């Protein structure tokens, strides 16, 4: 069985800090990724969430690739979707 991955852009209208984050991040658009695994062979596909992560890019002008931090999806309010894939 394969896991499925959903990605979307979430807009934080104000600076924020979620559980698992060490610093406050600026307001803006951030990529959220949710990974789900199939839980069985039913008439319809059924999945359960395995993880939800947020990508935090490096500060402007700083080298690096940024951070991926696991978060609790309950901390996100109704997302403001910019795009999905």
For 83, the 3-state DSSP assignment is coil
Domain residue limits, the chain: 4-75
Task: Give pLDDT, residue 58.
Answer: 87
1, 72 Cβ separation under 8 angstroms = no
5-21 pLDDT, tens digit each: 999 999 999 999 888 78
The model's confidence at residue 39, banded by pLDDT at 50, 70 and 90, is confident
**Predicted TM-score (pTM) above 0.95:** no
Which among 68, 77, 59, 58 has a CA at the least distance from the CA of 12? 77
44-82 pLDDT, tens digit each: 888 888 999 999 998 888 888 889 999 988 888 654 445
């Amino acid at each position: 069985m394969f896991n499925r991955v959903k990605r979307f852009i979430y807009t934080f209208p104000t600076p924020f800090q979620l559980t698992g984050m060490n610093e406050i991040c600026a307001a803006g658009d951030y990529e959220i990724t949710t990974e789900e695994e199939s839980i069985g062979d039913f008439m319809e596909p059924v999945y359960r969430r395995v993880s939800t992560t947020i990508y935090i890019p490096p500060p402007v002008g700083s080298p690096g690739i940024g951070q991926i931090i696991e978060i609790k999806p309950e901390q996100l309010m109704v997302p403001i979707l910019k795009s999905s894939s």
